[in-house]
Structure 1
Amino acid sequence: MSDAKETHTGVEPAGLDDQQLLRELESIHRTRHDTLLHGSQHALVAHSIRMTELEAEYLKRHPNRPVARGRTRDGARERCD
């Protein structure tokens, strides 16, 4: 199998404005399950690479984003008590 990076044709995440980046993230998360269940190995690898690139760019731009307590280990443990 060739490297998925070779066939990557999307816009570099750094070249997207904030609104475009969020739209790309929403789209890739929406299609993830279908790609996992029905895509080829190559499609899944390419999807994973793109998703990682987009998420890394988002985190780079928003390092201090608010994190919901319920999305942390301690917060999840509190829900179980």
Structure 2
Amino acid sequence: MTGVDPARLDDSQLMKELETIHRTRHDTLLYGSNDALRAHNDRMAGLEGEYLRRHPRRLVAPGRTREGARERD
């Protein structure tokens, strides 16, 4: 794993890491090597998993659910 174990990050550090990895995702997908993309996938999964572990009851916008998406159509 690359970077600090997500479980060891405080909440503000975790959010900063998530913002950074989401911001760099597109370029990594388009221009990164297979190894870079694999590392990015692993890191993103770890960070997102930690966020979800800490926030199991996070706010989910109605429009971001399958039912909500169908209502938009």
Residues 38-57 of structure 1, C-alpha deviations (whole Å, 9 max, x = no match): 00000000000000000000
- Aligned twin of 1:74: 67
Compute the RMSD of aligned alpha carbons.
0.6
1:20 aligns with 2:13: yes
Normalising by structure 1, we get a TM-score of 0.88
Task: Flag structure 1 segments of 5+ consecutive residues without an equivalent.
Answer: none
TM superposition shift of 1:70: 0.2
Displacement over 2 Å in runs of 4+: none
2:56 to 63, 67, 81: 63
Identity %: 68
Residues 5-53 of structure 1, C-alpha deviations (whole Å, 9 max, x = no match): 4xx2x00000100000000000000000000000000000000000000
Which structure's CA Rg is the greater one? 1
1:51 aligns with 2:44: yes
Aligned-partner Cα distance in 1 for 2:15–2:36: 21
Task: Flag structure 2 segments of 5+ consecutive residues without an equivalent.
Answer: none
Aligned-partner Cα distance in 2 for 1:59–1:73: 19
Normalising by structure 2, we get a TM-score of 0.98
What is the number of equivalent residue pairs in this alignment?
73
